[in-house]
Structure 1
Amino acid sequence: MTRLDDWLRPAPPPQTEPPLDPRARRALWTEVTIVLLVTFGLSGLSGVLSLIETAMAPGRLSDQTVALNAPRATIGWIDFGRQLIGIARLCAWAALGLYLLWRSGLGPDRIGFGRHPRPRRDLLPGVGLAALIGLPGLALYLAATAVGANLTVVPSTLDDHWWRLPTLVLWALANAAAEEVLVVAYLISRLRRLGWSENASLAASALLRGSYHLYQGLGGGLGNVVMGVLFGRYWQRTGKLWPLVVAHWLIDTVAFVGYTALHDHVSWLP
């Protein structure tokens, strides 16, 4: 119990910097606001509206379906191109967060996202985190759907093209990179610099993650808040971002590719 309490307790910030003067605070708040408006902030607001819309529709939430990866064109090669554009957009979001952190003195090594991840130090913990989050997350989704608190989530409705599986793997990687860089490393670092406590910045990060998943229903939002708390605290305690990216990528890859492979062969998948 003591070890769990120690892990849940936030570690002290990695270094103490002098307080920002009012002009620097305004500039940093402006940066954070713009970044969130360009990336996941507006997605969060859209998620809230989506939840309200689906809740007002007749019937239970589980009677409605949402696809995570859907076709973006009726012509195969155009659909492929638009899928790649969407993937590139998420990668650009991650690059924006990395660049802004680097400009402020927090290079990739400082946030635990160095060029050469170590298998035992960075990759294996990611596998463990994927199991810790993925299995209970699946159970939570099935329970929330059963009681009508979540939409029926279809991981992929892409047509059967040669590029379908590689594209799903790339979507999973882009999602992982963008969310963990921006929602964990960037946002928590910036709020920490603005004088927020570790617990307050963790709560903001987790709530943001939950908000832009509300289009899946209340269960999807709450499940991602829990994921955000665990991932954010892990980063605060260890300073390692690679395990979070690996874990997120594995969870999404298993969901996207596993659904594509199994949905015609098992009865409990939509």
Structure 2
Amino acid sequence: MFIRNESFKDFLRFYPVISTLVTIHILLWITTEVIPLSFFMELKQLGVGHNGLIKSGEYWRIVTAMFFHFGLMHTLFNSFTLVLFGPALETMLGKMKFILFYLLTGVGGNVATLYLAHDFVIHAGASGAIYGLFGIYVYMMMYKKHLMDDQSSQIVKVILILGLIMTFLRTNINIYAHIFGLLTGFALGPLLLHNVRPFFTGTLKRYAVDDNEIHFDPDRWRKKRIPWKKIVLVLFWGAILTLVILEMFVR
């Protein structure tokens, strides 16, 4: 479910919503921090979450804050997590339901921040929606076990536990967005997962047509099978561990 083995072209084609969200994250980071353009800098000032300004009437910040991030690691960590855990759910729910789910979980985290944090708190990032993904996966593990295989369940458990530990140990973390994004995702599970089919990467691939004829391959003995699944799995856990360490000690 979560081991990505699509080509870049196929990823864009199969998961257009995830691709668009990640593109927005990266472009906003580039235009506000790498090559700071005045228009986008002003846009960020108008878009990030600010509890005092939201309470004074700038309610759009509850939504727009989901798309801005503070720093490279913040941007990469949320985008990378979305790339890993978002595609399966986008395929299972469909584009429109996934967009609705993403917005509701992100808004749920930001609304909780609005009412539980101080007025001077400034926040940004897709963390509420990211934890919303984990929330609905937890619901699957508890009540829709046929939708997830054991390996995927173990991956969710490990990453969620690490994420929650960092949530409470690190400073400058929006605890409310994490926790209430998670709870919102869990609460939406029974509403959005009705009659949903399990995700299988094989169903997305185009297979070659079998013409029922025997073909001779003169180079068949030279070809060696490469254990791509093992390589991808090692790279996956290596990337996760690297990001976790960087998130804990660099930012």
Same fold (TM over 0.5): no
**Which is bigger in relative contact order (C-alpha 8 A, separation at least 6)?**
1
Q: What TM-score, normalized to structure 2?
A: 0.29
Give 1 or 2 for the bigger CA radius of gyration.
2
Q: What TM-score, normalized to structure 1?
A: 0.28
